[in-house]
Amino acid sequence: MTTQEKTQTDSYNFKAEIKQVLHILVHSLYQDREIFLRELISNASDAITRMHFEMLTNRDVLDHDVELAMHIEIPEVAEGEPKQIIIKDSGIGMTKDELVQNLGTIAQSGAREFLSKVEEGAHFDATDLIGQFGVGFYSVFMVADEVRVVSRSYKKRAKAAAWVCDGSDSFRIEPAEKEDRGTEIYITLRKDAEEFASEWKLKQIIKKHSDFVRYPIYIGETQANQQKSLWRQRPSDVENDDYLNFYRQMTMEFEEPLLTAHFSTDVPVNVHALLFVPGKREPGILAARKDPGVMLYSHNVLIQEYCTDLLPPWLQFVDGVVDSEDLPLNVSRETVQNNRLMAQLGKTLKGRILRELKKLGQEEPEKYEAFWREFGRAFKEAIAIDPTAKEDVLPLYRYRSSKSDGKLVSLDEYVARMPETQEAIYFVLGDTAASVAHSPHLDPFKARDLEVLYWVDPLDALISPSLSEYQGKPLQNVDEADIELPDVTEAEAEAEAETAVPEADFNRFVGRCVTTLGERITEVRESKVLKDSPVRLVSPKDSHNKEMHRIQRLLNQDYEVPKKILEINRNHPLIADLSRLAAEQPDAPLLRLSIEQLYASALVQEGLHPNPADMLPRIQELMEIAAGAGK
């Protein structure tokens, strides 16, 4: 190292938003100051994890045999001198440039969001907020007058460097002497924060926030975290708070998991597992684990950080730890993929997760609804990519229905309340629950008090051809032209006959519908089932891939409105008036406009209209005619 290199110090200014963050942390937040230690330990743990994985494939690193651990020291100082804390780790370390990059900048989006949350009001949880938006390291300035970070990279030829800041608008980078790998943080405590220069206080904080960090944390010669594998403990010995703390330390997610599954078994394969279903399908922007896959251990030693070979793709949202003593310690990823034990492990894990989810649906339906909102699509994607998954996932499906009053029902619940005369499970496709609730296809089912499931997710249309039956009951789309339903009562049939439009007038109106709509429809005919709706569109018996029309419309891929059968309710008052108009004024503009609007409205109800806004000029014209008739 040259003389110039030994003495050169570079100064840098923080950006404006980072200055604001630092100002808030230094001057405003006092109630949760202890979390600075949690954040620094979390950063050190990440650095050690990176080092651990580097050494799996690279032995040419500095201090290869040094224990992967953290050490916290409280140096003695002269009376009247500010007290200090030193936090050391044997992690991957940083070069001079990496110090500037990692400690000199905060993600601008994170800084902005942190500031906006603070500005929303005084009632927020700083404990969660600081880590959530990537300003965790800077929380040290809630307790520090000055912070000096000395680091040396794992690369053998790398030189040590120091980052120094007093919480003001700038920091400096200067040369440093450090023989071993890793990072040391020298914290000069503020006068009002000297309580943290206490072993008892530091151990208390570690117990509360960092007890399950996977690497040992030493204070002096004593290990401060229990580090005992939570997944190897008996579930009866673990408190819910322990699970939550472990989950947050593992993922850096601040929302509670929707489901925790902790179990051990020796048959058919040895496994200790602690699995979580997160609160959200998409990980947070600062989540520690952004990739899918569980952590795979053998004999309590991590052998794969993200193992995606244990669970099927539709369960990759599950996170956590799987530990098996049946797997050899020297297993490679290729061996893991081809190991026969993996198939047994995967089968055991999948079965337990599905069982826990079914239990959640039965015992905590509101919580399960939150789960289904986030992950239901994963189970529908399962059928799209793996038809053999049907037996596993269908019992977990949930839908709203014509009788569920807005709540979700399972297929099992639907089948259980089917009347003896009902032979099929009925569903209606549409865009929203609100739109299908008013679908004309429901008329005959309401008249017969039959329940219909609302399939309103675009994936429902995609997978419906694959869902032919459940528990021996066929699944049937209510828009099918030849659907067979129980007959209405004799009294209802007689009442309908009395209100029916005269046959001659009705036939004249049907003919006008044919000439107006032309090739857009395949047939116009009297409906045998409509009761409250004037018309409906049904699929011809020989139509193929009819569900794909809905998908193509949503994807804007060469969409053409499908040709369907227009069924007309001969007993509806509107049809009676239009039939009379067809007899008396066959060329009236109102007749043509009404037929066009009935057809367009039916397309909207089906979720098949390419552009509903096209109806607006026609609706206005109809209103003008109606207003003129009222003068």
For position 94, which CATH number holds?
Answer: 3.30.565.10
pLDDT tens digits along 311-332: 999 999 999 999 988 876 555 5
State the pLDDT at residue 38: 84
Q: Is the pLDDT of residue 107 over 60?
A: no
Give Cβ neighbours of residue 607 (< 8 Å, ≥ 6 apart): 429, 430, 431, 435, 550, 553
Question: Is position 391 within any domain?
Answer: no
**Residue 205 shares a structural domain with residue 234:** no
Question: Is position 565 within any domain?
Answer: yes
Domain boundary (477, 504, 519) is at 477
pLDDT tens digits along 256-271: 999 999 999 988 888 9
Structure tokens given for 518? 């032309």
Q: Is the pLDDT of residue 469 over 90?
A: yes
Residue among 30, 29, 254, 48 at smallest CA distance from 131: 254
State the pLDDT at residue 583: 92
Q: Is the pLDDT of residue 245 over 80?
A: yes
Average the pLDDT over each of 90-99, 104-113, 148-157, 275-284 and give the range with the smallest value: 104-113
Q: Is the pLDDT of residue 447 over 80?
A: yes
Query: 564-568 and 521-526 as β-strands: parallel, antiparallel, unpaired?
Result: parallel
Domain boundary (188, 223, 258) is at 223
**Residue 280 shares a structural domain with residue 206:** no
Give Cβ neighbours of residue 581 (< 8 Å, ≥ 6 apart): 588, 590, 591
**What's 429's DSSP letter?**
E
**Residue 567 shares a structural domain with residue 436:** no
Give Cβ neighbours of residue 538 (< 8 Å, ≥ 6 apart): 441, 479, 480, 481, 564, 565, 567
Q: At what angle do helices 16-27 and 108-119 cross, to 10 degrees?
A: 50
Q: In this structure, what CATH number is given to the domain that contains residue 406?
A: 3.40.50.11260
**Residue 13 shares a structural domain with residue 131:** yes
State the pLDDT at residue 27: 64
If 0-12 CB within 10 Å is exposed, 13-18 middle and 19+ buried, where does residue 573 land?
A: exposed
State the pLDDT at residue 4: 54
Q: Is the pLDDT of residue 145 over 50?
A: yes
CA 154 vs CA 59, 71, 151, 181, 434: distances in Å: 11, 18, 10, 6, 60
Q: In this structure, what CATH number is given to the domain that contains residue 594?
A: 1.20.120.790
Rounded mean pLDDT, 76-104: 94
State the pLDDT at residue 131: 47
Q: Is the pLDDT of residue 124 over 80?
A: no
SS3 374: helix
Rounded mean pLDDT, 608-617: 90
Structure tokens given for 154? 């794992």
Average the pLDDT over each of 84-98, 166-180, 291-305, 424-438 and give the range with the smallest value: 291-305
Number of structural domains, the chain? 4
Q: Cβ(324)–Cβ(341) under 8 Å?
A: yes
* Residue 559's pLDDT band (cuts 50, 70, 90): confident
State the pLDDT at residue 484: 78
Rounded mean pLDDT, 607-621: 90
Instruction: Give CA–CA dist 520/541, Å, rounded.
Output: 17
Question: Is position 249 within any domain?
Answer: yes
Q: Is the pLDDT of residue 31 over 80?
A: no
Mean predicted lDDT score pLDDT of the chain? 86
Question: Is position 389 within any domain?
Answer: no
Higher pLDDT, 210 or 140: 140
Rounded mean pLDDT, 555-568: 82
Q: Which residues are 173's β-sheet partners?
A: 10, 163
pLDDT tens digits along 358-414: 999 999 999 999 999 999 999 999 998 888 899 999 999 999 999 999 999 999 999
Question: Is position 200 within any domain?
Answer: yes
Question: Is position 383 within any domain?
Answer: no
* Residue 86's pLDDT band (cuts 50, 70, 90): very high
**Residue 310 shares a structural domain with residue 163:** no
Rounded mean pLDDT, 64-76: 96
Q: Is the pLDDT of residue 155 over 90?
A: yes
CA 479 vs CA 221, 229, 305, 425: distances in Å: 74, 56, 49, 13
State the pLDDT at residue 123: 44
State the pLDDT at residue 605: 84
State the pLDDT at residue 85: 98
**Residue 192 shares a structural domain with residue 139:** yes
Whether pTM > 0.75 for this model: the answer is no
Q: Is the pLDDT of residue 490 over 60?
A: no
| Percent of the chain whose predicted confidence (pLDDT) is above 90 | 54
Average the pLDDT over each of 54-63, 103-112, 398-407 and give the range with the smallest value: 103-112
Q: Is the pLDDT of residue 502 over 70?
A: yes
DSSP readout, 255-283?
Answer: SPPSEEEEEEE-SSS-EEEEEEE-SSSSP
Query: 217-219 and 70-73 as β-strands: parallel, antiparallel, unpaired?
Result: parallel
**Residue 451 shares a structural domain with residue 512:** no
State the pLDDT at residue 630: 60
**Residue 216 shares a structural domain with residue 259:** no
**Residue 116 shares a structural domain with residue 210:** yes
Q: Cβ(91)–Cβ(51) under 8 Å?
A: yes
For 183, phi then psi, to 5°, come to: -130, 140
Domain boundary (477, 499, 521) is at 477
**Residue 62 shares a structural domain with residue 196:** yes
298: left (phi over 0), alpha (psi -120 to 50) or beta: beta
Q: Is the pLDDT of residue 494 over 80?
A: no
Q: In this structure, what CATH number is given to the domain that contains residue 304?
A: 3.30.230.80
**Residue 409 shares a structural domain with residue 440:** yes
For residue 132, the enclosing domain spans: 3-223
* Residue 458's pLDDT band (cuts 50, 70, 90): confident
Q: Is the pLDDT of residue 133 over 50?
A: no
In 10-135, alpha helices (H): 16-27, 35-57, 96-103, 108-119, 126-132
Question: Is position 61 within any domain?
Answer: yes
Question: Is position 401 within any domain?
Answer: yes
State the pLDDT at residue 386: 87
Q: Is the pLDDT of residue 276 over 70?
A: yes
**Residue 130 shares a structural domain with residue 217:** yes
State the pLDDT at residue 132: 45
Give Cβ neighbours of residue 381 (< 8 Å, ≥ 6 apart): 313, 314, 459
Average the pLDDT over each of 30-39, 583-592, 602-611 and give the range with the smallest value: 30-39
Rounded mean pLDDT, 212-219: 89
